[in-house]
Structure 1
Amino acid sequence: MNDAGMYSRATVRLARVCVPRRNPAVVPASNASAASIQILFDADDDRALFPGHQPSSRKSARAPARTLPTPQAQIYCAASCPEKPTTDKKSKTGCEMFTEEESSEDEGIPRTPATTQEQREFNALLEVLAGEVDDTRRRQAQDSYDAMSASSRTQQLLLTVADASQSLPVRSVAGEFLKDLVTGSFETSYLALSEDSQRQFRKDLLFTASDHRLPCNLRPPLCECIAHISRQVGPQVWPDLDKFLFFPIVGPSHKSAATQVYSLAPEFFEQRRLAYLRVARDALCADLEDECTDPEARSRSLTVLCAHIVEHRRVDGALDIFSSALPTIIRFIASVLERPGDERLLISVAEVARACPEFLRPRVGDLVDMCQRVIGHRSATTPWRHQCLDTVVAIADALPAAMRFLGAAKLSQLLGSLFQLIADSQEVTAAYSRGEWQKDLVAAEEALIHLSLSLKGYTLIPAVAKNLCAMVKSDEWKQRYAALVGLNALFCEEALPRHVGRLAPAEMLVSNCFDSVLGCLRDAELKVRYAASMALGQIAARLSSEYVCRSHERVVPDLLALITLESQPKLICVVTETLRNFLSACPQEVVATYLGAILYKLDELIKHRVPFTVSRAHHHMVTEAALETIATLAELSQSYFQNFYDASMPAVRELIYSVGYVEGERLRWLAIHCIARAGLAAGKNSYMTDAEAAVKAVLSLLANRLSWSNDQLLKRALTVAHVTCRVLGAQSDLFVKHLLPAIYPILSLRDARLGGFYAATCAFLGWYALKNPSGLAPYADNAVECVLPMLSFGEPTARGAAAEALPRVMTCAASHDAERSSRYWIDVHTALTGAIEREKELSAILSEVCGLQELLALVRLQIVPPEQLESTTLALDKCFEFYFRWHCDENYDHVSWDDFGVEGRGQQDALSRAFLHEVADMVCSLLSTLKDTYFPFFDRLAPYASKLLTKQRPWTEHLEGLTIFNAALSIGSAASVRYRSYYLPELVEWLESPVQSVRALAAKGLGILADVDPSTFASDCTRAWPHIVAVITARRPIRPEESFGTEAAVVAAAAILDNCSTTLENKDVPVDELFQQFLSCFCVLHGDSWRRPLELVCALIEKEDALVKANPAGPARVLMDALKANRVVRGSALEGRIVACLRHQKQEDLPEDQRNTLREILGGAQGPDITCS
């Protein structure tokens, strides 16, 4: 390997690398990249590049401080062809060129290794240490070496490395010793030298590292020494290092050394990396386009360019600078596709896709086409195929919208290549070994699953439906297997969520190939039967229950036929899981029809496997699958299982007593758990015979100290206890009386390994306190003392379960003592607020917030001391900080809302939205209960709620912000005016939001303002009136459930008309016209939202307002429609008010059809007989 390429692999992953610039003497004129490069490269004086540079001298040990514009991106084009040595003064090699200005001063310092007697003795010592000698001589040599001073060793070791007359082992040992000495004992080795010696040592170190005669394996330790010294002394003390790295380079040895030093000491250039981004881009692009350059150097140039793109992705304007290099990158990759050894280039492209996907967005189609050609080419090498798969997956993860935009044709071609790769991987030939096809199969399946998760199954299914159907019906089993694997990937849970309107393509695909998939269950090839069972299980889990239920008569018998005593264990496990998925979509009556046949098969499996279970642990998977299926069938069939309980449980009971050794303890508890779940479905009468054995097993396990370190067994035992208590009901008090004293010692251990058991215990205590508080009351004191410390436990699930259980357990403990209740409430409140302030896990803090809200609901907030209100507010402040820190740019720096989509935000985002909703709900509860007395505390939270309303935040946050401020302003006191600046500027804007919920809450807020303080907010409501009218008069949706935005606007308009009509008239607003528009929108009202507009109409009629006199038919029509459509509660005060208004309505002002309707309504209305005037 030559010097130009020996470090390329090491620099791939560092993201802080550089390649030396080419020598201008050997760069063809046609390849000149930019005028700026020529200026830098052709400068006669180095001060043209470094204007602040001052030559160092002996009189000044430290050079003047200077600001160099040299960034990390100031890098070099890789050297082209190795050049011949030259004696020209302008093209000196190594450090001769950058030490010229000081050569006169240092003329007496030798440039070749010393040949003194001291140096010869030192070299002889190293020969002993490097040679194969006896231990005695080696120990003596080591003692002599250690006795020398570190500073003396430092200089002599470097001279040995540079001495070409020494053997390679001796020089290698000297290089390693020098690296360990400089990096490990910097103070006693380098700093112990005089200033002149330090300066000379640095120069000799650079000269030796860049010497083209130095063997390749000696350069890395020297580069590490250079990097370590540069980190310690800084750029002001060592200006020569700048020239060593940023001057035109002659020879690949200098380039190789500079590259490694640059990658090892990036902080040396941290302050000076931005000035030469364009120079770096042009230099590297010129190197990529120069076909005369060494291929290894061109490949490393691409690696360096991608590394700098990733490094500077957060710098303003950096990606714009590098964007012009993207076509060059694409052309270079296309030119080296499938060339052996260059597959590592795609690693850099994949890193760019993951770190800054927006950079690759314009050329996604070209990259995918190139990768697809390699994936679908049978002669391509395995490393190239895998790197192309990884690159496609990285692009799909980072840019799903851009991938979808490629269209169905390209996606079909890409997935078709993946399916064909899976099919080809089943063919083992002399040139295609078994290990290679296994790697290809795993890589292709993982790529399919990743693409399905990123692009979603409902996007890919229409693109590949035709191809999949043809492959499933193929006569070749490899094609059928590949198609079934593809179906399994496309129908996985995250790829195909059950959204309304998204399952139609999937159902159409299944309808076209369902018969063929069922036929594959009877295929002669085991792999095909296995894949068909997996695919049917995914189909059953993803498609709608109605669709799956229609095919159970064809699927279940074929699946049962695969469950035989001779079947493979893995096949049986998959078939039982598919059975559970299919029957879960069917009603109880359908499940009951198959109970007998399925339980008979499972009973045979358990009985057949019991003898092997005792001696062969690998058969456990079949028995575990059978137990899980029995328990699931019991839960699905409920009361129907009672007829099969006695027949199916003996084989399960036999497992409990036959598996008694340590390896089978898990299987034993699975059997106990299966019986408990079956007993819960069959009822107490059936389970009573097994409940006693389950109770004894649980208590025996909890009493055995040897099992206290097994979290899985303890958790399973407590789950059995939980199910048993649910079955026994009130009769479980005796069991709990013995269970809780056995649990408390384990809880007091606070063992970090028992997080699952602690979480299950807290959940059980919370459930039992809710279902049977009197049964837990005698033990509640100990329960509170044991659960409280769980809030500071290391496992997040345990902390969350403890937070949810504490309020319920505390209620039981304080049910008979008011003083104890107050003390417990304060203790639990302090523990929960403290846990929230310490929490770092999202799931745990969500549970703690829910627990705190439930705790606050247990007491009247008016009697809560101010100290607890203050701590509650601090906890809410911490929650808002946690939420905004979770959604900061650092977590979503490369994720755009457009690319990711609402459904693709992930489970963590859904959890964070639930967390924000709980926090906002707690704030609203405090405001609605404490009214304006909570305002001094709310002042701390108002800025967070205002931040939720900024335009950059998603609309889900706008909802919570509007909800919080609506709750604050609905209090109606004058103190609420203080939040006007937080709220009103965004309130009018959200009336134009495209989201119905946001428009509804904004309109509701304006209605609240008009109601609570019309004198203060009249001008604001008047300013918002045109926007409300625009919402009302806009095109209304057809479905009632989508009209709540318009409905809220109508209610807000009623409030404004009722309270601010005078202000509207003073501002020359056409109130008459707006009132008629208001009346025409009553058709969108539903439920209780009719009340306020109807009250407004009745009030206008009662005071004979001018709005009613101008057009009496409109208000009368609205009132009559409300009574005819039963929008008003019969016998309510509002109905009597409406009838009274209609009785006083003058019929001559109404049209004929309304007169008839009025007579019908008044004829059947309740009330005094008043003749219509």
Structure 2
Amino acid sequence: ILIICLLIGETYENIPGQSKITFLLQAIRNTTAAEEARQMAAVLLRRLLSSAFDEVYPTLPSDVQTAIKSELLMIIQMETQSSMRKKVCDIAAELARNLIDEDGNNQWPEGLKFLFDSVTCNAVGQMATDFAPGFQKKFHEKVIAALLQTMEDQGNQRVQAHAAAALINFTEDCPKSLLIPYLDNLVKHLHSIMVLKLQELIQKGTKLVLEQVVTSIASVADTAEEKFVPYYDLFMPSLKHIVENAVQKELRLLRGKTIECISLIGLAVGKEKFMQDASDVMQLLLKTQTDFNDMEDDDPQISYMISAWARMCKILGKEFQQYLPVVMGPLMKTASIKPEVALLDTQDMENMSDDDGWEFVNLGDQQSFGIKTAGLEEKSTACQMLVCYAKELKEGFVEYTEQVVKLMVPLLKFYFHDDILQPLNTKPAESMPLLLECARVRGPEYLTQMWHFMCDALIKAIGTEPDSDVLSEIMHSFAKCIEVMGDGCLNNEHFEELGGILKAKLEEHFKNQELRQVKRQDEDYDEQVEESLQDEDDNDVYILTKVSDILHSIFSSYKEKVLPWFEQLLPLIVNLICPHRPWPDRQWGLCIFDDVIEHCSPASFKYAEYFLRPMLQYVCDNSPEVRQAAAYGLGVMAQYGGDNYRPFCTEALPLLVRVIQSADSKTKENVNATENCISAVGKIMKFKPDCVNVEEVLPHWLSWLPLHEDKEEAVQTFNYLCDLIESNHPIVLGPNNTNLPKIFSIIAEGEMHEAIKHEDPCAKRLANVVRQVQTSGGLWTECIAQLSPEQQAAIQELLNSA
């Protein structure tokens, strides 16, 4: 009866939800029943807890909940069949996952104690992934100790392998600072187990634990980064030995994982340490690569090799270019895999099992679009690697740009969205501006031809891409491409199509906001609904930021020539900055008008009636993001805006000062807005000095320096400071140069906060100011004496570097 009950879905479905848990537990516990029935009961129970936990579990009486938890733990202890025990562990992991709240508080402490006492590694590993990094922060001491102890269990290879796998899950998402104190102990255990398992491989041919331990070493190194340097020499000889000698077919996975491990360790410790073995490693990889064409399509080494080459490229930089002729053939072959697709009716789809490797997307009640995922993960990885080469090698990759573009552009239409295949959707777009940068070296004609091949496809993809994550990547990529290509890259047809698309995106943004407000009035509205609405809102705002990116790139390339085209969008942008709109709308609407002012110069005043009053009003807004956008706009208004803006510069000054002098202006959430206000005051004094009393404002402005959070505005203010010093401005230098120690401390603080890159011309100007004082001994001594040791070191660093 039990077997019939479990195998005939209709009967099972008729059992009330709350009773299903106890019914299925009974079936699992019934050791006299057929193994098939017990396993199916376990699968059904896990699915029930996964898909309908909130409907079935919280409604149970507390004593029944306690009994279920106890029974699960008891079954794990009593079960003799390993496959069945694994399934029950999975159920326990699913229940435990649902019993940890959003703050990471565990509602099943006895379950956790049981895990640590018996170390059911699958459950620990799953929880480490599901609740990272909170799980790691709370339980690092117990988990690491328990897993290392279990890995020492030489009597049970499978348990050792599970413990190593759980350690991988744990360290992958473990904050570096938490892992470092355990590094000595971890390394000691991993090394001794690796040596032991290498001997076992040679003597008995067993490899399961060694495969997992190699990946554990890679994961620890990846998290520890430069802290792994002292342990590098302990592992590298053995790892190289495995790659060199594990050539038999049954050792392909071990060899692939070891190649991955070596490349991750190299990336972790850096070029200087890795160079001692780089030549050997490259020869091993090259030898494997020459055998690549003989590898079977399902050889697990392929994906490990492809990823390892990309890491080697990151480590070696430009020196990697010499290996491209060897690497690119197999990589392009993998990236060019054609997926098998089919349009099936629902009945046909149901007849296909999961084992066939097909994934489906419903196209309505009757049809589904299917794609065979075999090989697609490798294709996805290969696309990532091509982007990596273009990014790292730049003009060194130029020989391959044409074939990569021809591969990537059609992939912009790849609509199958899945976490594993995400690079197939996002990397083609990401590659476009990088490939244009690579192609620059061949001259403008070649570059333009390549851009023409991309441009139409990118615009069409912006108009048709349904997934917001992929759409945002395509929009960002398109904006970057325009920045690379500059004025003239879009023709009239492009502008017309793009204008229609951006208009539709903005209209959709407002419509979605209205729909969400309607849903908030619905009788079913609750916290869960609000959470979902917030996610939708975040997605919409992110797309809005990409609309802003595209407009920024167009304004910066085309200047005021593009204003007639922009007018079709103007009413929608004005709507964004209305007072009743949410702060992200007002922030991004202001950013778009900031670009109009900055790049269209005096011509922007034609539209001032739409944005000037809101900009002045929003500089004192409650939202720091809105304040920042408004302050930046007032700064560029002074810098680029022309004479019509003069009275508004005068009006802006006291508003900016009010923000700067407010009590909480330098708190973490406010500092960027405040620094933009300080920079704007500097720009008004520099570019519109007749609009303000510079002598009165200047001492205050000096007291607010330096800026160090907003790097772009920091450069602006330091350049203006250099202007004032170089012109011997009396208020800045003070009587008899008494302000110089203060100026030195401003420069030192800027250096300490890395406010200016040493290659920036501004750094050289600041260093020259310091050197000039160096030549007058007494003044130099006085200035240096008033600095802290850290500030003195920062001044020396600036002198050495700029």
Are 2:548 and 1:960 aligned?
no
How many angstroms does 1:965 deviate by?
0.8
The answer to whether the Cα contact below 8 Å between 1:540 and 1:585 also exists between their aligned partners in 2 is no
Match of 1:390 in 2: 54
Specify which of 210, 214, 218 is matched with residue 627 of structure 1. 214
Cα separation, 2, equivalents of 1:570 and 1:768: 35
**Of 742, 745, 763, which residue of structure 1 is paired with 2:384?**
763
For residues 730 and 1009 of structure 1, what CA distance do their matches in structure 2 show? 42
The whole-number CA distance in structure 1 between the counterparts of 2:635 and 2:48 is 64
**2:574 is the alignment partner of 1:946:** yes
- The answer to whether the aligner puts 1:793 opposite 2:414 as a matched pair is yes
Residue 172 (structure 2) pairs with residue 565 (structure 1): no
- Structure 1 residue ranges without an equivalent (≥5): 1-9, 14-339, 345-381, 396-412, 472-478, 486-519, 1064-1070, 1103-1111, 1137-1156, 1165-1173
Alignment of 1:656-695 (within 5 A): 656-657=247-248, 659=250, 666=253, 669-678=256-265, 683-686=274-277, 688-689=279-280, 691-695=282-286
Q: Is the 8 Å Cα contact of residues 996 and 1042 (structure 1) preserved in structure 2?
A: yes
Question: Deviation at 1:482?
Answer: 4.7
SS at match of 2:441: coil
Amino acid at match of 2:456: T
The separation in 2 between residues aligned to 1:537 and 1:756, in whole angstroms, is 21
2:434 matched residue in structure 1: 808
User: CA separation of 1:874/1:639 partners in 2, compared to 1, >3 Å: closer, same or farther?
Assistant: farther
Q: Does the alignment pair 1:861 with 2:487?
A: yes
- CA distance, structure 2, for counterparts of residue 906 and residue 669 of structure 1: 42
User: Which has the higher mean CA deviation after the structures are superposed, 833-842 or 911-920?
Assistant: 911-920
Q: Please give the per-residue CA displacement for 1:584-631, whole angstroms capped at 9, x wherever unaligned.
A: 4468897467534422213434654789888xxxx85x4442221132
- Write the letter of the residue equivalent to 1:740: M
State whether residues 565 and 605 of structure 1, in contact with CA within 8 Å, keep that contact through their aligned partners in structure 2.
Answer: no
Structure 2 residue matching 1:815: 3-state secondary structure: helix
In 2: Cα distance, 1:1081 partner to 1:631 partner: 51
User: Once the 2 structures are TM-superposed, how far is the Cα of residue 668 of structure 1 from its aligned partner?
Assistant: 5.1
Tell me if 1:1002 matches 2:601: no
The residue type paired with residue 686 of structure 1 is: D
- Please state how far the C-alpha of 1:788 moved relative to its aligned partner: 2.7
Q: Summarize the Cα distance change of 1:590–1:559 in structure 2 as closer, same or farther, 3 Å threshold.
A: closer
CA gap 1:415/1:734 in 2 versus in 1, 3 angstroms:
farther
Amino acid in the other structure paired with 2:445: E
Tell me how far 1:901 sits from its aligned partner.
Answer: 12
Unaligned runs of 5+ in 2: 1-9, 20-45, 341-372, 417-421, 708-713, 748-761, 770-778, 787-802
The one of 289, 307, 310 aligned to 1:722: 310
Structure 1 stretch displaced more, 626-635 or 719-728: 719-728
- For 1:810 and 1:738, the matched residues in 2 are separated by 23
User: Amino acid of the residue matched to residue 787 of structure 1?
Assistant: M
1:156 corresponds to? none
Residues 965, 983 of structure 1: 8 Å contact kept: yes
Distance 1:1043 1:583 in 2: 27
Alpha-carbon spacing, 1:794–1:544, altered in 2? closer, same or farther (3 Å): closer
Separation (CA, whole Å) in 2 of partners of 1:1022 and 1:992 = 16
Take 1:437 and 1:592, find their aligned partners in 2: how far apart are those partners? 34
Q: Deviations over 1:199-235 (max 9, x none)?
A: xxxxxxxxxxxxxxxxxxxxxxxxxxxxxxxxxxxxx
Pair 1:744–1:1019, CA change in 2 (3 A):
closer
> What pairs up with 1:326-345 in 2 under 5 angstroms?
none
> 2:178 and 2:337 mapped to 1: Cα distance?
46
Aligned mate of 1:977, from 605, 611, 623: 605
Letter in 2 for 1:570: H
Residue 968 of structure 1, CA deviation: 0.9
8 Å Cα contact 1:1040/1:1084 also seen in 2: no
SS in 1 for 2:235: helix
Query: Does 2:405 align with 1:784?
Result: yes
Could you tell me whether the CA contact under 8 Å between 1:1003 and 1:1052 is conserved in 2? Answer: yes
The 5-angstrom pairing of residues 604-619 of structure 1 reads: 604-605=196-197, 608=200
1:755 deviates by 3.7
What amino acid maps onto 1:641 in structure 2?
Y
Rounded to whole Å, the distance in 1 between the matches of 2:731 and 2:445 is 65
- Within 5 Å, which residues of 2 pair with 1:346-385? none
Distance 2:259 2:130 in 1: 29
Match of 1:312 in 2: none
Task: Tell me which residue corresponds to 1:601.
Answer: 193
CA offset digits 1:81-121 (Å, max 9, x no partner): xxxxxxxxxxxxxxxxxxxxxxxxxxxxxxxxxxxxxxxxx
1:492-641 equivalent positions in 2, closer than 5 A:
520=116, 523=117, 525=118, 527=120, 541-542=133-134, 559-560=148-149, 562-567=151-156, 568=159, 569-575=161-167, 577-578=169-170, 584-585=176-177, 591=183, 594-605=186-197, 608=200, 620=208, 622-635=209-222, 636=225, 637-638=228-229, 640-641=231-232
What percent identity do the matched residue pairs reach?
17
Higher relative contact order (CA 8 A, sep 6+): 1
Is contact 1:970–1:1012 with CA below 8 Å preserved after alignment?
A: yes
Looking at structure 1, the residues matched to 478 and 609 of structure 2 have their Cα atoms a distance apart, in angstroms, of: 30
Look up the match of 1:449.
97
**Counterpart in 1 of 2:742?**
1124
Q: Kindly provide the amino acid, as one letter, of the partner of residue 233 in structure 2.
A: Q
Distance 2:466 2:299 in 1: 24
SS of aligned partner of 2:519: coil
In the alignment, which residue of structure 2 is the partner of 1:889?
515
Q: How does 1:1013-1052 map to 2 (within 5 A)?
A: 1016=644, 1031=659, 1034-1037=662-665, 1039=667, 1042-1046=670-674, 1048-1049=676-677
* Structure 1 CA distance for aligned equivalents of residues 86 and 18 of structure 2: 20
Task: State the Cα distance separating 1:802 from its structure 2 match.
Answer: 1.6
1:699: Cα distance to partner? 5.0
Contact 1:606 1:652 in 2 (8 A): no
Between Structure 1 and Structure 2, the one with more helix by share is 2
Q: Is the 8 A contact 1:1054 1:1093 kept in 2?
A: yes
1:776-810 deviations in whole A, cap 9, x for unaligned? 44444333333332222344532421222233334
How many residue pairs get aligned? The number is 654
Deviation at 1:978, TM superposition (A): 3.6
TM-score (norm 1): 0.45
How far residue 1052 of structure 1 moved from its aligned partner, in angstroms, is: 5.5
Return the alpha-carbon distance in structure 2 between the equivalents of residues 563 and 893 of structure 1. Answer: 56
TM-superposition CA deviations, 1:615-663 (whole Å, max 9, x none): xxxx85x444222113234544247413432134445655542506xxx
What do you get for the CA RMSD once the two structures are aligned?
Answer: 6.0
Q: TM-score, normalised by structure 2?
A: 0.63
Instruction: Mark the CA change 1:571 to 1:385 in structure 2 (over 3 Å): closer, same or farther.
Output: closer
Question: How far off its partner does 1:956 sit?
Answer: 3.3
Counterpart of 1:997, as a letter, is E
Contact 2:624/2:670 (<8 A) preserved: yes
Flag the 1:782–1:890 CA change in 2: closer, same or farther, 3 A.
same
CA offset digits 1:417-450 (Å, max 9, x no partner): 9678534543579xxxx9x999999788646635
Residues 227-275 of structure 1 deviation map (CA, whole Å, 9 limit, x = unaligned)? xxxxxxxxxxxxxxxxxxxxxxxxxxxxxxxxxxxxxxxxxxxxxxxxx
Q: Which residue of 2 aligns with 1:422?
A: 69
Q: Tell me the amino acid that sits aligned with residue 405 of structure 2.
A: V
Q: 1:951 to 1:755 in 2, by over 3 A?
A: farther
Aligned partner letter, 1:925: S
Query: Aligned pair in 2 of structure 1 residues 1011, 484: CA closer, same or farther (>3 Å)?
Result: farther
C-alpha distance in 2, partners of 1:1130/1:383?
61
> Which of structures 1 and 2 has the bigger CA Rg?
1
* Letter aligned with residue 565 of structure 1: Q
Given the superposition, is the C-alpha separation of residues 1020 and 444 from structure 1 closer, same or farther in structure 2, using an over 3 Å criterion? farther
Distance in structure 2 (CA, Å) of the matches to 1:880 and 1:712:
46
Deviations, residues 368-414 of structure 1 (Å, cap 9, x unaligned): xxxxxxxxxxxxxx99999995149999xxxxxxxxxxxxxxxxx99
**Which letter maps to 2:552?**
C
